Amino acid sequence: WHEIIMEPILDTLTQSTRPQRRPSQRVIQAIDQFCRQKEWAMNVGDEKGMHHVVNPATVLELGTYCGYSTVRIASLLPPTPIARQIIAWAGLQDKVQLVEEASGDWIPKMRTEFGVETFDLVFLDHWKDRYLPDTKLLEDCGLLRKGSVLLADNVIFPGTPEYLEYVRSSPQYESQYFQSHLEYTKVEDGLEKSVYLD
Ligand SMILES: Cc1ncccc1-c1cc(O)c2nc[nH]c(=O)c2c1
Ligand SMILES: [Mg+2]
C-alpha cells in the first residue's frame, strides 16, 4: 500500500525537479561511446553485455574496475524501493543508510553494523506501539548520550500515550511538547522533544 502511495510522489518529483542521477542506460551508452571512439578500456562492453542473465536479486561482482558492469548489473536488479529512489533523487544517497528491517531487530546492531557510538537525534515516526520499546532499547544499548534528542511525531494523533507518559515522567529526560496539526489537516497533533540527561 505504501509503495502505491509513494509512487506518485516519485513521479511528481521526476517530472518537476532536476535529476540528481543519470538513468543507467545513458551512463552505459556514454562509457561505450567513449571506449569505442576515444580510449579502449577493459569493460565487459556492449556486445558481450549482461543479457545472458535474467532478474538476479543477489549478485557478487568480482572486479569492479570503473563501475561499468556494476551499473549494467544493478540495472537488472529488482526495482529500488520508492524511498531509496526519492533519497537518491535528492542526491542524498551517500549520507543515508536505509535499513528495511524491524527497528527492534536493528537497534542492537547499530554499533557493529554501522559503527554508531551514539545518536545526536532520533526521529520517531514509525509504528506507534514501537516508540516506547525502541526508546528503552536505545537506552539499554548505550546509543543515547547526554544531550541526545528524541523527536517524536504523532504524539497526539494517532497518539503514543505510553511513550508520552514515560518521557514526561522519567528523570532521564527533559521533555517539551510543540503543539501543531496532523500533517495537511486541522486535526490537533504535535511533536514531543525529549532531551536525554543520562
Ligand atoms: C495514516 C494516518 N491516517 C490517519 C491519521 C494519521 C495517520 C498517520 C500520520 C502519521 O504522521 C504517521 N506517521 C508515521 N506512521 C504512521 O503510521 C502515521 C499515521
Ligand atoms: Mg508521522
What interface predicted TM-score (ipTM) does this complex get?
Answer: 0.95
- Mutation pick for ligand 1 pocket among 2, 154, 163 (CB with most ligand atoms within 8 Å): 154
Amino acid at residue number 53? V
The answer to whether 163 touches 129, Cβ cutoff 8 Å, is no
Q: Report long-range pairs for 141-146 (Cβ below 8 Å, ≥24 apart).
A: 141/107, 141/108, 141/110, 141/111, 142/118, 143/107, 143/110, 143/111, 143/116, 143/118, 143/119, 144/118, 144/119, 144/196, 144/198, 145/117, 145/118, 145/196, 145/198, 146/196, 146/197, 146/198
Residue with the larger pLDDT of the pair 4 and 82: 82
Dihedral of alpha carbons 163, 166, 168, 173, sign: negative
Residue 130 has pLDDT above 80, yes or no: yes
CB of 158 shorter than 6 A to ligand 1:
yes
Q: Which atom of ligand 1 is nearest to the CA of 154?
A: 11
> Residue 49 — pLDDT band, cuts 50, 70, 90?
confident
Residue 11 has pLDDT above 80, yes or no: no
**What Å distances lie between residue 71 and 31, 54, 94, 146, CA to CA?**
11, 15, 16, 43
pLDDT at position 56 is 85
pLDDT band, very low/low/confident/very high, at 1 (cuts 50, 70, 90): low
Say whether 92 sits in a helix, a strand or coil: coil
* Percent of the chain whose predicted confidence (pLDDT) is above 90: 61
pLDDT > 60? residue 54: yes
Element (H, E) at 144: strand 144-152
Distance 116 CA to ligand 1 centre (A): 28
pLDDT at site 57: 83
Q: How confident is the model at residue 2 (pLDDT cuts 50, 70, 90)?
A: low
pTM above 0.90, yes or no: no
